[in-house]
Amino acid sequence: MATDVATELTFAGSPKDREAASQVFKALAARGRFMSDNAPIRVPVAHVAAYLDAQGIKGGETKVRAIAEDNPGVFLLQGEGDAMVIVTSKAGRTPVLAEPPAVHSFKQRFMTPKPKSAAPVIPVRERARIDERWTTLVIDPSLIAADTDYEEEVEAVAETIAEIEQVIEAIEPAAELELEIEEVAAAASPSRTITSPVITPTDVTGVDDVELATAIRERLTSDPRVAVFGEQWMMEDRVPRFSRGDLRRVREYIQEQEQPLTDDAIVQDVFNVRVGSPDFELNRFAVNFRLSREKDFEFVGTGNQRFWSTTGLAPIGTTRRKPNELGSDYRYLLDETPAHIAYRSVDKVDHILTFFEFAHGLLPYDADLQRLLPMPVEDGQRAAVLTFECPQSYTTYLVELRFPTPNRGGFVLGLDDFFSENLVPGAHVTISRTENDGHYRVEYIAESSQSERLLELEERKSRYVFRPTTFACSADPAMLLTETMFGRLNGEKPLDEKVRKRPEAVVAATFERVGESRDGNFSASFATLLAGVNIERPMSAHLLRETLDKDDTGAFSRDPDLDDAYTYVPGTTP
């Protein structure tokens, strides 16, 4: 490469001088063979002279300087005396030896501190404007006059005090005089008294607790600062909050247990707060209050036993009929229940099981049961989960109380197992309350074991059959569906849904199934009819009596030959 450049270069002087210059360039180029084309290659003149001497070119340093001076485009001399160097570049051009610009360097950047930034301009704060009404305030002149009088009065009093003090100095102070001074000073006191209207607490003497509780509820419920659940109150900002993750864990735990859980269980198992710890009550309130605000959770508890349910849980009780259909079946209870009922006002309720109740494992939420069971804790509460304990079988059942709605009656679901294991249709059942408004005892009257052929619904073929049944409980003979009394039901199919929705049509069908045929008419006692109609649909004695007595078509009428019996004329079905 250096050789190529050396052959291309044209040096000045004689052929010997040009040869010498070429030798010098080759020597310098060899020295800087790893350097860039334009980088300066510096070699002392003395060294170059020694090289030329070795090559047989005489003349020493003078010769080298002469070569450099003759070829200024290729060589450059720098320095003086022994320190003189000859400079060139690989490209064969005199290198530009300009000093690099020193305006910027890393050293300078690292060593020189950054100048402080100028302080931002603080915007001028807007001054609060005084309400314009103050600037247009009209001052009553009489008040100004009064103030003037007041100042004069103060001056006069001060003069009086000064005079009195002079007298005091002259005469020995007397107690009466001091008193006078005090009175005058008090009269001249410039302090003003601002009286604010005093609101006295409401006189609650003679007001009963129920009325006072209503007043408290009315006043505090609307206040967003107050948290309320059931009969407990707190300031909202003091109630612990739950994260999305906490709520998810509660939901998953309830789903895992496959049944509604009480607030106690949630606090202990999900939040790991022990019963009896100082925070237990607070956390329990937090669970109830916070979950009541979440749409994924539903309160299904009572005042003492606060159950929480969530989405995805299997329903409690029968799946033969939907809860809405059962509610429609029990719609008649809405008319039979008084508007104002005293909840939990009775200790126990006796009930005779009907076939319909036995088959679906339910009880009607009639006036009797409403007097025994608790009222809804929350407004709009749909259901309450209760525990029914049977001390005779040492079993506790989780049942669901469906509260009535404006167009559906209420009922208690989930007693299928208890009924089928211990009872038969017509059995006497007693439900009694405990201290806990969510826990009840359900009992039957145990008797010696007996066998009867009793009515059953064969679900596979969807027809009624009689099967030998052994039971050991007391039962009402009129409601016991034996083959001897209701034998004609054998092999019958359940009534069509459209027919069973109409009580009068069910009564007519029941006459034909259980009544005694007499001259083409059917006659049956009221007790038999009651047991018979309750095979197909729930019907109270009151509703049955009303259906029979208030029939406008003339299909039903009292049987004059029998005590409390009715007849039905076929063909005039209502």
Residues found near another protein in the complex (CB under 8 A): 199-205, 207, 209, 211-220, 223, 225-226, 231-235, 238, 281-282, 285
What is the closest distance, in whole angstroms, from the C-beta atom of residue 199 to another protein in the complex? 4
CB of 233 to another protein, least distance (A): 5
Instruction: Please identify, using beta-carbon distances, which residue of 178 and 223 lies nearer to another protein.
Output: 223
Instruction: Name the H helices within 188-322.
Output: 209-221, 244-257, 263-269, 280-291
Hey, how many other C-beta atoms are within 10 angstroms of the C-beta on 304? Answer: 15
Which residues, at least 6 apart from 377, have a Cβ–Cβ distance to it below 8 Å?
Answer: 230, 299, 301, 302, 303, 306, 384
Q: Give 223 or 564: the residue with its C-beta nearer to another protein.
A: 223
Sequence-distant (6+) residues with CB within 8 A of 551 are 504, 557, 574
> Which of residues 40 and 303 has its CB atom nearest to another protein in the complex?
303
- Nearer Cβ to another protein (156/216): 216
Find the shortest distance in angstroms from Cβ 373 to another protein: 21
Least distance (Å) from another protein to the CB of residue 299?
Answer: 16
Taking the least distance from each CB to another protein, the nearer of 273 and 359 is 273
CA distance 47 to 339: 127
| Closest separation in Å from C-beta 232 to another protein | 4
The least distance separating another protein from the CB of residue 304, rounded to whole angstroms, comes to: 13
C-beta of 306: minimal distance to another protein in Å?
12
Q: Are 431 and 349 in contact (CB under 8 A)?
A: yes
Q: Which is nearer to another protein, 215 or 541 (CB)?
A: 215
Least Å from the CB of residue 164 to another protein? 43
Are the C-beta atoms of residues 444 and 398 closer than 8 Å to each other? no
**Burial of residue 524, with CB atoms counted within 10 A of its CB: 0-12 exposed, 13-18 middle, 19 or more buried:** buried
- 288 vs 286: CA distance, rounded Å: 5
Q: Which is nearer to another protein, 131 or 218 (CB)?
A: 218
Distance in Å, CB of 204 to another protein, minimum: 5
Residue 177's Cβ-count burial label (10 Å; 0-12, 13-18, 19+) is: middle
Which of residues 77 and 234 has its CB atom nearest to another protein in the complex? Answer: 234
Closest CA to 433 of 369, 385, 372, 386: 372
* Cα distances (angstroms) measured from residue 295 to each of 204, 311, 383: 39, 10, 15
Query: In which element (H, E) is residue 19 found?
Result: helix 15-31
Q: At 349, is the secondary structure helix, strand, or coil?
A: strand
Q: What are phi and psi of 437, to 5 degrees?
A: -75, 0
Please name the helix (run of DSSP H) or strand (run of DSSP E) that holds residue 78, with its range, or none: strand 76-78
CB-based contacts of 287, cutoff 8 Å, min separation 6: 250, 263, 266, 267, 271, 308
Q: In sequence order, which residues have a C-beta less than 8 Å from that of residue 364 and are 6 or more positions away? A: 330, 333, 357, 409, 410, 411, 412, 538, 540
Nearer to another protein, 109 or 340 (CB): 340
Least Å distance between CB 231 and another protein?
A: 5
Nearest-approach distance from CB 220 to another protein, in angstroms: 6
- Nearer to another protein (CB atom), residue 200 or residue 319: 200
> Which of 8, 231 has the CB closer to another protein?
231
Q: How far is the CB of 198 from another protein (least distance, A)?
A: 9
SS (H, E, C) 438-506: CEEEEEECEEEEEEEEEEEEECCCCEEEEEEEEEEECECCCCCCEHHHHHHHCCCCCCCHHHHCCHHHH
Q: Minimal CA–CA distance to 97: which of 109, 88, 84?
A: 88
Give the residue with the Cβ less far from another protein, 283 or 547. Answer: 283
